[in-house]
Amino acid sequence: MEFDKETLKKMFPNLAKELESSEHKTSINSVRTDIQAGEKAASKRFVHYMPDVIDFIRRCDTEEQAEEIIAYMEKRGEIKKQHAEKLKKQLKEKGVRSFGPKKEENYYLKYGEP
């Protein structure tokens, strides 16, 4: 199916705006026609990795945010009450950075193995 620019803008104004903007563009600097070679090149470090409560706390800026994370994960049954209490105690006594340095945006993309 083909569209000229004006038809595309009328039918899909938001998509057209996205395509024309330079925001959120990803450059493609190589193309692999061999699927196995492409899969080997993909990041494997965080494949099947499930973040835990500490990973989420390390994204927090404040103790209040960390307290919310702990309460939420305890409520969902993802951490036990005893573990939640231990985390809260550490948070109160040593602060949010005692769990490790802040994980910045796109952490898993930046630190995944090539």
| Euclidean distance between CA atoms 71 and 69, whole angstroms | 6
- 60 in any annotated domain: yes
- 29 in any annotated domain: no
- 19 in any annotated domain: no
- 73 in any annotated domain: yes
- 17 in any annotated domain: no
- 64 in any annotated domain: yes
pLDDT for the residue numbered 65: 96
* Mean pLDDT of the 44-58 span: 76
| Euclidean distance between CA atoms 99 and 24, whole angstroms | 32
Question: What's the pLDDT band for 33 if we cut at 50, 70, 90?
Answer: low
Give the chain's domain count: 1
- 34 in any annotated domain: no
pTM of the full predicted structure?
0.56
- 65 in any annotated domain: yes
CA–CA distance from 61 to each of 2, 25, 85, 96 (Å)? Answer: 48, 28, 20, 8
pLDDT for the residue numbered 111: 66
The upper half-sphere exposure of residue 70, i.e. CA atoms within 13 Å in the direction of its Cβ, equals: 24
Q: How many CB atoms lie within 10 A of CB 59?
A: 16
- Can you give the residue range of the structural domain that contains 85? 53-111
Residue located via tokens 């809260």: 88
Model confidence over 76-108: pLDDT tens digits?
Answer: 999 999 999 999 999 999 999 999 888 887 776
